[in-house]
Amino acid sequence: MSATASSTVVDPAAGIESVFREHHQRVFRAAYRITGNATDAEDVLQSVFLRLLGRRPDAAPVINLACYLHRAAVNAALDLVRIRQHSLDLPADYAGPAPRRDPRESRLLLRQAIARLSPKAAEIFVLRYFEGYDNPEIAQMLGLSVSDVAVTLHRSRARLKEEICHEH
């Protein structure tokens, strides 16, 4: 799936209702993919739009609303996963699950592993593998070079492979 980019300069506060109508599904879905549950996704949905609302009038204009919201959703969701990890006793003392891995568990572990990447690497990874942007698009969204994106992705993959591929 690829995202369409609409380039209109928009004042988010005016007509928040229509912005919400147009983009809420995408934000919710992106948050759901990262957090894995609807409660957290709703949390992210609210945060993203409230912040949009709360933006100061003199802040830089949003050029590409879809991308902006997408990234905001991704980052807010990653933050939430990180916070959740800190408050639980997790993999450091993880005693090991049953021999046959439960697929739900694998997904949870991967989500947590992604959140443990550096914020930028995590965002790039999610934009690529969950949201379906391709490397040039990501490079443009984040203001990086395409090769930077590619290298970061490669490293992230390597690290994630290592983390999820231990056997019990």
Q: Does 86 bind another protein (CB under 8 A)?
A: no
CA 50 centroid distance within chain: 18
Which two three-digit tokens encode residue 103?
A: 């697929």
> Which residues make Cβ contacts (< 8 Å) with residue 22, sequence separation at least 6?
none
Minimum Å gap between C-beta 33 and another protein is 6
Site residues (CB under 8 A) for another protein, limited to 105-124: 106-107, 110-111
- Of the ranges 3-11, 40-48, 61-69, 135-143, which one interacts with another protein (CB under 8 A)? 40-48
Which residue carries 């050029």 as its tokens?
A: 63
User: For residue 108, with 0-12 CB atoms within 10 Å meaning exposed, 13-18 middle and 19 or more buried, which class applies?
Assistant: middle
Q: Residues interacting with another protein, by CB under 8 A?
A: 13, 16-17, 20, 24-25, 28-29, 32-33, 36, 38-39, 41-43, 45-47, 49-51, 53-54, 56-57, 91-92, 94-96, 99, 103, 106-107, 110-111, 129-130, 157, 160-168
